[in-house]
Amino acid sequence: MSQGIIYFCACPYEKLGFTDQMVHFRVMYKLGVSLKYQYFHTPFICRRNKTTSPYSFYTLYRKINRRFPLVGSALLSIFYLELALDGFKILGFNKYLQSISPTISKNKLKEIDVELSEILFVNKRINSFEELQDRIVKRVNKKLSQAEKICLVKFRLNLIFGRERLFTLIRMNTPCLPDLLPKLQKSYLEFGKIKSDLQYKETELKIVLHIRQGDTSIIKTQWHSWINVDRRRNDYLKQFSSIDELELTNQYQPSDYAIFLKALLSFINSNNYSVRCFSDGYGFALKILMKNAHEMRLSSTQSKSLKKYQKKYEKEVFQEFYELNNTSCIIGESSKNLCNLISSILSADIVITSNQQYMVQKLLSFYGSKETPFVIVLYKNSIPDYPEVTFDNNNKFTYVDIDNPVFSHILEKLNDRFDCINSTNCLS
């Protein structure tokens, strides 16, 4: 097989968020290049962040798919591409990678699936990058006959087993391998579809605050109980009379962000700044409660009250931000909001987020430059350590203990970049 051509593609799990898939792609790309395979692009699709689908669509899809599977599959793909919260389309991710991919028909390629989790742990644990490469080569060659001179290796990765191990092996052993990041960082300007209806003024200090809630949030109900909707928690869907009774590691209320933001804004000299507060809000969290109402033994009155609770609850929870000067709030999940979020982050001077989510960190590991934006990651208890997420870009982030922020440290860094920061009255 040494005289043939081996192509490779990355096939992340489609139910991952789009930034998770981008991280998996980067790892798989470096692995394929290290084996001297040639990259062949297959489109990335994010099925996780899809909008709610009309029942009528699924009824039509099922009827067509029974008799005409190919038509049904095409219909489903079109539906997802049009209605999904498609970060790939906004950033031009697929379009750029397609432009650098060879123009050869996929039908002419013998496809070989390589599940990397299985490669890592079958028979015995792999302890070096060279062992990983050797095992992949043997797996590919075993699948090929002497007559076959061209194939497509499809890298896949199990969501549970092997991810961190694989990321560590590749991050530590491939720093000098070709990387698409420098080109990707500019590709969205040419290939992306960022049509934001929010525009900054050139002269103002541009600040973005991202507050993840959704399926990681804690809800205060109309009957005054507190419920954690994060399924990773031991207190998932249990009701408590006080928020202090819940497990709050790496979970934040919007009020936590508001306290920090107000303190930071007090050090800005002029009024020439703009803050955009983005959040996915509580729509998905309330759907989780409604879906599990029977299991939680909610009364019919309680269950019905949740259906009309979203707007009232979000207005109440984010009220502090609506009242701040020069601050706009963009709450809820939609393609428009995602586009505005991505556009705002990539053009911001300062981005504030937390370790309740990693979407912003992953996005900026790909598309943020070394200089901008200045990224503040709020945390509780211990500084986040996720090199498998940030790869080798961890120095882009300034980590701040949300319960004990040391503003003198933050302002010292900000003063190096911005003229409008006043640190003379800083006592901490």
- What pLDDT sits at residue 53? 43
Above 90 in pLDDT, residue 37? Answer: yes
- Cα–Cα distance measured from residue 293 to residue 295, given in angstroms and rounded to the nearest whole number: 6
- Cα–Cα distance measured from residue 53 to residue 325, given in angstroms and rounded to the nearest whole number: 38
- What pLDDT sits at residue 275? 95
Please say whether the beta carbons of 203 and 273 come within 8 A: no
- pTM of the model as a whole: 0.83
Structure token pair of residue 394: 């961890």
- Cα–Cα distance measured from residue 337 to residue 328, given in angstroms and rounded to the nearest whole number: 13
Burial class (CB in 10 A: 0-12, 13-18, 19+), 70: exposed
- What pLDDT sits at residue 55? 41
* Closest by Cα among 142, 146, 200, 197 to 4: 146
Sheet holding 239-240, edge to edge: 218-220, 226-228, 239-240
- What pLDDT sits at residue 396? 79
Please say whether the beta carbons of 26 and 393 come within 8 A: no
Give exposure, 314-331, as e/b (b: 16+ Cβ within 10 Å): beebbebbeeeeebebbb
Mean pLDDT, residues 227-251: 87
Return the H-helix or E-strand segment holding 207: strand 205-211
Above 50 in pLDDT, residue 286? Answer: yes
Each residue's pLDDT tens digit, 169-185: 887 777 766 667 667 76
414 or 125, which is more confident: 414
Please say whether the beta carbons of 8 and 37 come within 8 A: yes
